[in-house]
Structure 1
Amino acid sequence: MNLQDSSSMLMNQMIMFYNNAMIIIFLITFMVGGMMISLMKKYNYNRSLYEGHELEFIWTLLPTFVMFFIALPSFQMLYSLEETSSPSLTLKTIGNQWFWTYEYSDYKNIEFNSYMIPTNELSMNKFRVLDVDNRIVLPYNHFIRMLITANDVLHSWTIPSLGVKLDAMPGRLNQMSFFINRPGLFFGQCSEICGANHSFMPIVLESTSLKTYSKWIIKMLT
């Protein structure tokens, strides 16, 4: 019934659209259900129900308007997901069986693999099947460009709270931009069935201030 708390402008739009669409769906469900019960009691399957041309015209026209009303914001949001603003930095992601490789394209020699931490190696402050040995670190309040591909099979890089889901396909480079609006720790997982260990290649993104991010970059470069 509920989505994760929003951490980006895109996710704010998705949650708003989802809530409005659910209201419309519930209203249609109750209205149609009530009409069906009322008609069955009143007419007892009278032939007028099968030959009511005016009634057929109404229940064809109304859903058309409803679908048009839902489609407009849906298309607007879909195209906003495809927009690429001038990014502050670029992160390249490579999907592998069964781990992620990250490259910070704006800097030299910043590349690392990210593996899930096995259960028997978890510390008290780690999350089972969600935490990784090397987290992505990105600054909030900056536009991030994501470039993604795969070395072997199809993967999908997904963080629900950011409203980000991008397919990783061998031989193809996909891109997407997103904007993180608050600091925090955000979790995701591969969302494309990619083999036996598909459930064990999580994603962890740490959103920090620009100052903390700069310190992390300097540490990675040294």
Structure 2
Amino acid sequence: MFVYLLLSCFYFKSKKVEYQFGELLCSVFPTLILVMQMVPSLSLLYYYGLMNLDSSLTIKVTGHQWYWSYEFSDVPGLEFDSYMKSLDQLELGEPRLLEVDNRCVVPCDVNVRFCITSGDVIHSWALPSMSIKLDAMSGILSTLSYSFPVIGVFYGQCSEICGANHSFMPIALEVTLL
């Protein structure tokens, strides 16, 4: 049996295949299409990677169960935790379930880089009014560079189901003038 397989391999190897050119075209043509799609994609990916390098302010955001930690990397020692305010701490006009005890304050029209990660489970740092949503995963650093064009207070919440108190993880970002 082994001899028959060996002989048939040598016999059919030397025989010319009828559709060899067609098979070559069916292999080369899709490869060329993929390369033509890959080149612009890689250049865009490289460009977006460079955009994150030039920022005036870097803030590391860490998601915990069930609060956010902020650390300003450019200012040593400036870090704080941001917890949701309870009902008895709220002042008149503050939104319930969205107001926090320590807001993250950033300047207007300054390129701010957010480095977002998690200390435990998967979270998602989201500010819907600014069209920002970044997943925070333990061991992975997600980055976003953003320049806030409008002054005000912007609210968001963790948009990943991260546990029992998932809906009590608000985000309050205050944008002010320098």
- Are 1:89 and 2:63 an aligned pair? no
2 CA distance for matches of 1:85 and 1:109?
22
1:166 corresponds to which of 134, 141, 145: 134
Equivalent position to 1:151, from 100, 119, 123: 119
Match for residue 72 of structure 2 among 100, 104, 125: 104
Deviations 1:109-159 (A, max 9, x none): 100000000123211131100000000000010111000111110000000
Q: Percent identity?
A: 50
Query: Which amino acid is 1:186 matched to?
Result: F
Pairing 1:132–2:132 present: no
Give, in angstroms, the shift of residue 199 of structure 1: 0.2
Distance in 1 of aligned mates of 2:62 and 2:84:
15
How far apart, in 2, do the equivalents of 1:146 and 1:81 lie? 14
C-alpha distance in 2 between matches for 1:203 and 1:118: 14
**Structure of higher CA gyration radius:** 2
Mapped partners of 1:198, 1:189: distance in 2:
9
Which structure shows the bigger proportion of residues in strand conformation? 2
Q: Partner of 2:19 in structure 1?
A: none
| Alpha-carbon distance in 2 for matches of 1:81, 1:152 | 28
Q: In 2, are the aligned partners of 1:143 and 1:178 still within 8 Å (CA)?
A: yes
Residue number in structure 2 paired with 1:202: 170
How far does the alpha carbon of each residue in 1:70-126 deviate from its partner, in whole angstroms, 9 at most, with x for none? xxxxx9xx9797742510100000000000000000001100000000123211131
Q: How many pairs does the alignment contain?
A: 134
1:188 and 2:152 aligned: no
Q: Distance in 2 between matches of 1:85 and 1:184?
A: 26
Structure 1 residue 163, shift from structure 2 partner: 1.4
CA distance in 1, matches of 2:52, 2:70: 20
- CA distance, structure 1, for counterparts of residue 111 and residue 75 of structure 2: 17
Moved over 6 A (4+): 78-82
SS at match of 1:119: coil
Length-normalised TM-score, structure 2:
0.71
| Larger helix fraction of residues | 1
Counterparts in 2 of 1:197 and 1:208: CA distance versus 1, 3 Å: same
SS at match of 2:129: helix
**Distance in structure 2 (CA, Å) of the matches to 1:121 and 1:94:** 24
TM-score, normalised with respect to structure 1 = 0.57
C-alpha distance in structure 1 between counterparts of 2:97 and 2:53, whole Å: 33
Gaps of 5+ in 1: 1-74, 211-222
Alignment gaps of 5+ in structure 2: 1-40
How much does 1:181 deviate?
0.3
Contact 1:164–1:178 under 8 Å retained in 2: no
Determine if the alignment matches structure 1 residue 113 to structure 2 residue 86.
Answer: no
